[in-house]
Each structure stands twice: as structure tokens, then as C-alpha cells.
Amino acid sequence: MIELLPLINMMILLVTALLIVFIPIKRFGVIKIIGSLAFSLVLIFSVVTLLHVQANGAISYIFGGYERFIGVELYIDVFASLFTFFIGLLGLLTFIYSIGYVHKEVEKTQYSRYYVLIFILFFAAYGIIYTNDLFNTYVFMEILSLTACGIVSIKRKRKNYMASFRYLILNEIGSLSFLFGTALLYMITGYTNITLVNDALQDVWHLYPVNIVVASGFMIVGVGIKAAIFPFHVWLPDAHSSAPIPSHAILSAVVLKLNLIVLVKVLYNVFGANVMTSLNIPLFTGVIAGTGMIMGSVFAIAQHDIKRILAYSSVAQVGYIVLGISLMTHLGQAASYFHVFSHGMMKSALFFSAGCIIYVSGVRDVRKYNGMFKLMPLPVITFSLAALGMIGIPLTSGFLSKYYLGMAALDANQGIFVLVIIISSILNAIYYLPIVIRSFLQEPSSELNEISDSSIPYTMMIPVSIFAILILVLGIYPGILTDIIDGAIMSVVGGWQ
């Protein structure tokens, strides 16, 4: 029965989306109950799956009774089960937060559509992680992109339509690029199954170096557009600044991370570390990552809208994850995976706490955050804690992310990237610290003097508090996660030769 839990998870998400379609708007309370129950079950089943896979090995499904070279395969190892647990946790907390916030930015007539899109998005998320086939990865990526586009445009405003249209066009270019790379690999190997493609490439890659470089280039660029890797990030700031706050957390903590997981699969499971290193592909991705770490922060410094600041910050943070992946070492992967968790929690905390401030005051300009701590202490404390984590202050998960990444860069004889990490951290401090200082040390303006956090729904405050706790717990006790990450790395094909 336990081995069926991954399939049950996907069915729960899909069936819940279908059920919401038939629930009248006036029964929004029913949507709350069904959605919370669905995400709770998915999270519990994800934890049980992770424990089962750690103890008993990977689970494989091949549908239709076919051989894997022509059939659809789902492959759930420690890597897949670890990240589905992470996505499930974010899904539950985001859904709980959205219950209190959704009426602020989404019309009542759109509630059902919004939650249908969210559940289909998470269905695609689990599919991306579980699938062991390149073509089906493309299919789930398309579903993910279309639903993400929908949750951006849900507000029915001109800027939302423009942002979602830009997002749709660029992500379609990314999808087609990924599909073209998949077609080139099929021409070389005759397979789309990731395991079989990897096995075949280890024997023939030296016969088709140009084809493989072109295929990897198309696939990396395609994923780069979808993951907002610099310089393919141009869709992200507008999408963040116009979408509802819960959608921000989904875009940054879920959608971007899923496409980075696809990048891991492409570099390690499809091509393999040996092939990539022989063709100097990691040098290209490492340079892009380092540039993004700097430029994302530079762009963020020039912003005053809190949503756009956090959007450009995501561009920089994606660079950290890509850098760890590009090192092609065990330590590099460990640092990268740790930062996926760390950044997912910190960025969700930033968006959710900023959302609490916007919910009460409607203020998005950080220059008006004077004395906000006295008015809304919990959201400001959480925001500050997450911001300090982004900078890399000790006792936060963000500090350990940067420490592990720096150690991995030194271990790979890439000391220049340590300097890049330090510069990026300084730039992070330049745009985060003024917000923190302004909120704690200055007096509130007269126009905001009457507001307080007492009007914030408890469904919003609970996720904010949980993320604050998780950032500290992971910063003080990283072994809770690092031991599992080591097992995930071992399950990645060719992960650390």
C-alpha cells in the first residue's frame, strides 16, 4: 500500500481540483476544508513515502505493462521523495495563508478558478519530480507554466494580463527549446526514458559531441527561461508585482525550484557529470550563475516596491542554486539542495510577512515602512529574520546555505565564486537592511499610526510564524536536513564521480 502513495498523492491533487469546480462560490467554507484536508494528506503521504524510500529503496511504476523504453515511468527515489515533501509543505502553508488573503486581491467569482489552478499546478509539480521520462517532463512543465500563468492573470487587471502574456510567451519559448533538445537526444539514443538516455550517452557521447552540446544548450536555455535564471529572468518582476501575494510564494518557492530540479535531472541524470565536465558545460552555467547572483541584487537595490525587490532577489538566489549544481561535486549538490529548502522558506516568509503589511496598510513602498514594528510586530520580526537569512547572518538557514556553497566552491578549486558570494551578500544587505532599520528604529508616520496586526486573519499569521521557526531551526540544527540530502545525492545518477 505504501508504494502506491505517490500515485495517490497525484490523484488527490487532481481529484480535489475537479471537486472544487462543482462547489458553489457561496460554499467557500467547503473549499477551505477540502483544500486543507487534501494538502494535509499529500504532506503526510509524502513524509511516509520519504521514510519508506530511505528504508527500502526507490519505487518505480511503468504504466500499461510496457517496457520502460516505450512506456511512461514514474521513479521515486530519495531525491524525488525529499523534494515532494518540500513542495507538499509549501503547498499546505500557502493554501492556509491564501484562505485569509484571497478576498483581498481576487474577486469572489474567481475563488473556485484560483484554487482549481493551484491544485492542478501542484499536480504538475509532483509529476515533474516523479517522472523519469523527458517527454513527460515537458508535458508536466507545460501544465505548470499554463497554471502559473493563470494564477498571475486571475486579478483581471491590465497589468496582470500583460505580465501573464509576457510570462506565457517566454515560457513557451523555453518549453519548445527544451522539447527540441529532447528531440536531439532521441535522435542520438532512440530513447526518451531518462535512465536509458543516460546509459546510452555514456557509450556514444564522444561520437556526437556537437549534437550533445547543442541539445544540452537548448535544454539549459529552456529551463533557464522557466527558472528565471539571469539573463532569462525578464518575465519574473512583472509577474511578481502584479499577482496576488500567495501566488508570489508559489512562483518563487515552487515554480522556480521545480524548474531547477529539472536542471538537476538534465545535467546529472540525463547527461551525467562526466559528459558535462568533458564538454565544459559547467563553466558556462557557473558564469551565468555568478553573474545572476550579482545582477539580481543590483536590480533589487534600485527598487522601492517590496514585491519587485523580492522578485529581483529571487533572480539572485536562483544563481546560488545554479552555482552549486554547476560545481558538479557532492558538496556542490549538497549546498544547492540545502539552499532550495532554505530559500523556499525564507522567500515564502518574506512574501507572507510583506503580504500581512499590505493586507492591513496597502503600502508596498518600503520608504513608508517607518516604525512598522510597533504596529505589526510579528510580520516585521518574520520579515527581518528572513531578510537577515538572505544576507547570511549566523543562526539562520541562509547563513548555512552560503557557508556550504562557499566550502563547495573551495573544494572544487573555484575560489573566485567565494568572492562572488561575498559581494552578493553585501548587495543583499544594501537593500534589505534599510527596510529592517526603518521598521524598527523610526517612528510610524501619522497616516499609518492607527493600523495594527489585530485585523490580520489567524490563517495568515500561522504560516508566517511557522516559517520564522523553520528558518531558525534549520539554521541551528542543519543535520535534520543534511543527512537526508546526502541520501538524495547518492540517488542521482552520476551525481558526484
The rounded mean pLDDT for the chain is: 85
Report pLDDT for 106: 73
Those residues with Cβ within 8 angstroms of residue 355's Cβ, 6 or more apart along the chain or in another chain: 97, 101, 245, 246, 248, 460
Backbone Cα Rg of the chain: 22
Dig out the grid coordinates for 329 from the structure.
561535486
CA dihedral sign, ordered 135, 141, 145, 151: positive
By the 8 A CB rule, do 76 and 130 touch?
Answer: yes
DSSP state of 106: S
Residue type, 180: F
pLDDT tens digit sequence for 49-59: 999 888 888 88
Cis peptide before 209 (omega within 30 of 0): no
The band of 449, judged by pLDDT with boundaries at 50, 70 and 90, is low
pLDDT digits (tens, 9 = 90+) for 64-122: 666 666 668 888 888 889 999 999 999 999 889 888 877 777 777 777 888 888 899 99
Residue 60 pairs in a beta bridge with: 75
| Predicted confidence (pLDDT) at residue 375 exceeds the cutoff of 50 | yes
Residue 496 has pLDDT above 60, yes or no: no
Are 200 and 269 contacting, i.e. CB atoms less than 8 angstroms apart? no
Digit-coded pLDDT (tens) for 261-287: 898 888 888 888 777 777 788 888 888
Distance of CA 424 to CAs 3, 38, 202, 294, 428, Å?
43, 39, 37, 5, 6
Global pTM reads 0.89
Contact 341, 423 (CB under 8 A): no
DSSP string, 188-210: HHS--BHHHHHHHHHHHGGG-HH
Judge contact between 414 and 286, C-beta under 8 A.
yes
Torsion of CA 268, 52, 60, 272, to 10 degrees: 10
What is the domain partition of the chain in residue ranges? 280-497
**Per-residue pLDDT tens for 281-316?**
888 888 888 998 998 889 889 888 888 888 888 888
